[in-house]
A and B are shown apart, each in its own frame.
Chain A
Amino acid sequence: MEAVSAKGLSFRHNTAKKPALEGVRLSAAAGELVMLMGSSGSGKTTLLRLLKPEIAPLGEVSGEIRIFGEKAAAPQPKVGYVPQHPEEGFVSDTVRGEIMFAPENAGLSPEEVRRLTAETVSRFGLGKLLTRKLDGLSGGEKQLVSLCAAMVVQPDILLLDEPFSRLDPVAAENMAALILRVNRELGVTVIVAEHSAEQLFAECDRVVFLENGRVTADLPPRKAAALPAVRAYAPAAARAFANAEPLPLTVREGREMLAHSEHLVEVPLPQGKVFTEKVLEADGLRFAFTRGGEDILDGTDIVLHKGEFLALAGANGSGKTTLLRVLAGLARPYAGKLMIGGKPPKKAALRVGMLPQEAADLFLQPTVLEDYRYALRAMGKPENMAEEMLARLGAEHLGNMHPYDLSGGELQLCALGRVLLCKPDILLADEPTKGLDPISASRIGHLLKELCAEGKAVLAVTHDLEFAACHADSCALFCGGRAESLMPSPHFFARAGFYSTAAGRISRGMVKNAYLTEHLQAAFGGGTYDR
Chain B
Amino acid sequence: MKAFHPLARLAATTAVLVILMFCRSVTAAAVGLVTGLCCIGLTDGRKSLLKWLGASLLTAALMAFIDPLVSHRGMTVLLFVNGRAYTLESMLYGLELGLSLGGVTVWLTAGRRLISEREMLCMMGRLSPKLALTVSMTLGFIPRLAETQRRIRDAQRGAGLFADNSPTGRMGEAMAVFTACAARAAENAAGAARSMNARGFGRHRLTYSDRRKLRRADIILTAAEVLLTAVSLVFAALGGATEFYPALKFGRYEPALAVICGAAGLPAVISLAKEVIEWKLYLPKG
Contacts and interface: CB of A to CB of B under 8 A. Distances in A.
Interface of A: 52, 54-55, 74-75, 77, 80-81, 83, 85, 87-94, 96-97, 100-111, 113-114, 117, 131, 133-135, 149-150, 153, 325, 328-330, 351-356, 358, 360-364, 375, 378-379, 404, 418-419, 421-422, 424, 428
B158 A75 contact: no
Interface of B: 117-118, 121, 129, 133, 136-137, 139-140, 143-144, 147-148, 151-152, 154-162, 172, 176, 179-180, 184, 187-188, 191-192, 194-211
Contacts of B151: 356, 358, 361
B188 A88 contact: yes
Nearest to B172: A378
Contact of B207 (A81, A104, A379): A104
B159 A421 contact: yes
B192 A90 contact: yes
Given A108-B207, A325-B154, 17 more contacts: A52-B198, A54-B198, A55-B194, A87-B144, A92-B140, A93-B137, A94-B140, A97-B140, A104-B209, A107-B207, A113-B209, A135-B140, A135-B147, A153-B199, A153-B200, A361-B155, A364-B179
Contacts of A358: 151, 155
A355 B160 CA distance: 11
Nearest to B163: A379
A97 B136 contact: yes
Given A88-B192, A104-B206, A364-B179, A375 B161 contact: yes
A135 B207 contact: no
Contacts of B191: 83, 85, 88-89
Contacts of A352: 158
Contact of A105 (B152, B179, B204): B204
A358 B147 CA distance: 12
Contacts of B117: 93
A55 B195 CA distance: 8
A397 B199 CA distance: 38
B155 A362 contact: yes
A334 to B, nearest CB: 19
A87 B161 CA distance: 27
Contacts of A364: 156, 176, 179-180
Contact of B196 (A91, A360, A418, A419): A91
Nearest to B196: A91
Contact of A92 (B136, B159, B204): B136
A351 B160 contact: yes
Per DSSP, are chain B's interface residues mostly helix, strand or loop, or mixed?
helix
A421 B160 CA distance: 8
B164 to A, nearest CB: 9
A135 B159 contact: no
A390 to B, nearest CB: 16
B209 A100 contact: yes
Contacts of A353: 158-160
Nearest to A74: B197
Contacts of A117: 209
B171 to A, nearest CB: 13
Contacts, number: 173
A133 B143 contact: yes
A272 B136 CA distance: 54
A245 to B, nearest CB: 43
17 contacts: A55-B195, A81-B198, A89-B194, A92-B136, A94-B136, A96-B210, A103-B209, A104-B208, A105-B202, A110-B209, A131-B118, A353-B159, A358-B155, A364-B179, A375-B160, A404-B187, A419-B159
Nearest to B138: A93
A427 to B, nearest CB: 10
Contacts of B129: 104
Given A87-B144, A91-B196, A358-B151, A100 B210 contact: yes
Contacts of B206: 104-105
A354 B184 CA distance: 20
A298 B191 CA distance: 37
B141 to A, nearest CB: 8
A88 B194 CA distance: 9
A328 B151 CA distance: 13
Most buried by A among B192, B200, B210: B200
A90 B193 CA distance: 10
Given A55-B197, A89-B194, A330 B154 contact: yes
Most buried by B among A91, A106, A351, A352: A91
A91 B192 contact: yes
A91 B140 contact: yes
Most buried by B among A135, A353, A378: A378
B158 A330 contact: yes
Most buried by A among B121, B152, B159, B197: B159
A95 B200 CA distance: 18
The list of the 5 closest CB pairs from A to B, nearest first, reads: A422-B160, A107-B204, A354-B158, A88-B191, A93-B140
A402 B203 CA distance: 34
Contacts of B184: 360
A105 B118 contact: no
Contacts of B172: 378
A90 B145 CA distance: 13
A356 B155 contact: yes
Contacts of B154: 325, 328, 330, 354, 356, 361
Most buried by A among B144, B158, B161, B208: B158
Nearest to A77: B200
Contact of B137 (A91, A103, A418, A424): A91
Contacts of B157: 328-330
Contacts of B133: 91
Contacts of B188: 87-88
